[in-house]
Structures are given as C-alpha cells and as structure tokens.
Amino acid sequence: MTGAGAAMRRVLESRERASLNGEQVAALAELAQRVRELNEAVVHTEVGADEVAAIRDEVAALTARLSAARREHPPLVGVGEDGTVRHLASPVGGVLNPIAPPVAIVVQPDGTARAEFTLNVLYEGPPGFVHGGVSAMILDQLLGVAASANGTPGMTATLDLRYRRPTPHGVPLVAEAKVDRTEGRKTFVDARIIGPDGRTTVEATAMFVMPLR
Ligand SMILES: CCCCC/C=C\C/C=C\C/C=C\C/C=C\CCCC(=O)SCCNC(=O)CCNC(=O)[C@H](O)C(C)(C)COP(=O)(O)OP(=O)(O)OC[C@H]1O[C@@H](n2cnc3c(N)ncnc32)[C@H](O)[C@@H]1OP(=O)(O)O
C-alpha cells in the first residue's frame, strides 16, 4: 500500500466505521433507492391533505422501525491499494444515502474519473436547471476520486468553479476529472460537467492536501 493509502486507512479506521458485505449493501441500496423515489414523489405529489397526513404517519412508523437498531456511524466499504475507499453513505453517489444524486464514478485506465448521470427535480436550482451547489458537490467528489485514484488522496483545500452555462436537469450529463499535477502533499485536479449537446456547463479546479496525520 502507498503512504497515501496507509494514511487514508488510518484516517478511516480512527473513525471506527463498520464494513458491510455485498449482500447487506445490495439490500440497503434497494431500500435507499425506494426512499429516493419517495423523496421525488413528495416534491411532485398533488394528493389531498388527508392522504398527505396518512402517508406522513406511515413514513414516521417506517422510520421508527428502521431506527430499532442503529449504528453510531454510517458504514464504509473497502480501502483499495491506491487509497480509494467506497463511502456507502456519501452524499454523492453513496448507494445507501437516499439524498445522494445517482452519480456512479468510474476511474478509467488513464486516471480520469468519469460519471454519466441524470439529475431530477430534487436537485433543481433555477427552474429547469441544476442547483449550482449540487454541481459543486458532484464535481468536488469527482475531483477527490481522481486525486485518490492517482494515489494522492487529500482533503479539498481549494475548489474553484466557473459556471459557463446553465446545467439542465432531466437529461443525461457527463462529468469527468483528471489530475493535472502533484507538488508534495498537494494535488491539483481539473474537472467539468458536460451537457447533452457536448458543451461544458461547469468547469472546476481543486487543490487537495494530504493531512499530515
Ligand atoms: C488522507 C485522508 C484524506 C481524506 C479524504 C476524504 C474523504 C475520504 C473518502 C473517500 C475518498 C474518495 C474520494 C474522495 C471523495 C470526496 C472528496 C471530497 C473531499 C471533501 O469534501 S474534504 C472536506 C472539505 N475540506 C476540508 O474540510 C479541509 C479542511 N482543511 C484542512 O483539513 C486543512 O486545512 C488541510 C488538510 C487542507 C491543510 O492542512 P495542513 O495543516 O496539512 O496544511 P498546511 O498549513 O501544512 O499547508 C500545506 C500546504 O498547503 C497549502 N494550503 C493548505 N490549505 C490551503 C488552502 N485552503 N488554500 C491554499 N493553500 C493551502 C499551504 O499553504 C501549504 O503550502 P506550502 O507547503 O507550499 O507552504
């Protein structure tokens, strides 16, 4: 394992996060997906007030059932040789996190972190378009994964964004990030979101700094 990977492992282990097996992850991921659908249905519903009240009580009862046995911290899965870790409850693409937009990041052989995804109305800012903070969050994650895949993970120290044109929701988007260079504990990464017409909507550059301990 690289020094960076070992450092990441120490950071993660110090937080005493549980690991789940594949079957447990799959079952909880399906639950999270149903809750994601519930979230969207809440935003769009036009059912009457009595039905809203009845559903509210049913949801509260389900929350109570799930809370009958609780972990202190959300679980994580696996730390790879390159220092990467699958953060199951990540707010970006975390399969167990019902508020996470469905952004599955794949690292390509040349080190580019890439994701294809469609955002629904839950992530809307200006009507018809993605909230700028959501774009920033997705790019931060992608930038961080690229830094980790490079064997130089770190904390986001700077994140610069340029919103070139509005990012539409409800249509397929692509985001990609690639390490530009490293300088000691610092890793500089570039990223962008690309709209369905192939034009860049948001550009980002970030500097990640590996904490000393
Ligand atoms: C190894 C563990 C890394 C943890 C990774 C995180 C998550 C793990 C999970 C999954 C991994 C997979 C993918 C990644 C996923 C997502 C990415 C999202 C990441 C985040 O969501 S993360 C949250 C937001 N992020 C913070 O919460 C940072 C708070 N902050 C700090 O934790 C410290 O601030 C830190 C560590 C940044 C630096 O602390 P430090 O003590 O090591 O720094 P120090 O002073 O020694 O500086 C050393 C050199 O960096 C320069 N420098 C430092 N900071 C600078 C700045 N802001 N601007 C310009 N230059 C800066 C100095 O100027 C000096 O430069 P020079 O050497 O040239 O003089």
Instruction: Write the pLDDT tens digit of every residue in 114-159.
Output: 999 999 999 999 999 999 999 999 999 999 999 999 999 999 999 9
What is the CB < 6 Å shell around ligand 1? Answer: 7-8, 11, 84-85, 87, 140-141, 144-145, 148, 153-158, 185-186, 209-212
Task: Please give the mean pLDDT across all residues of the chain.
Answer: 91
Contact of 167 with 129, CB cutoff 8 Å: yes
Residue with tokens 């007030």: 49
Atom of ligand 1 nearest to the CA of 186: 50
Position 83 pLDDT exceeds 70: no
Side chain identity at residue 27, one-letter code: A
Contact of 136 with 142, CB cutoff 8 Å: no
Contact of 194 with 173, CB cutoff 8 Å: yes
pLDDT of residue 1: 40
Among 155, 181, 210, the mutation site with the greatest number of ligand 1 atoms within 8 A of its Cβ is: 155
Contact of 122 with 40, CB cutoff 8 Å: yes
Q: What is the ipTM for the molecules in this complex?
A: 0.92
Report the number of secondary-structure helices (H) and strands (E) in the chain.
4, 8
Q: What is the pTM of this model?
A: 0.90
DSSP output for 197-212: TS-EEEEEEEEEE---
Tell how far the Cα of 213 is from the centroid of ligand 1, in angstroms.
11
Percent of the chain with pLDDT over 90: 79
Q: Which CATH number fits domain 1-213: 3.40.50.1220, 3.10.129.10, 3.90.180.10, 3.40.50.300?
A: 3.10.129.10
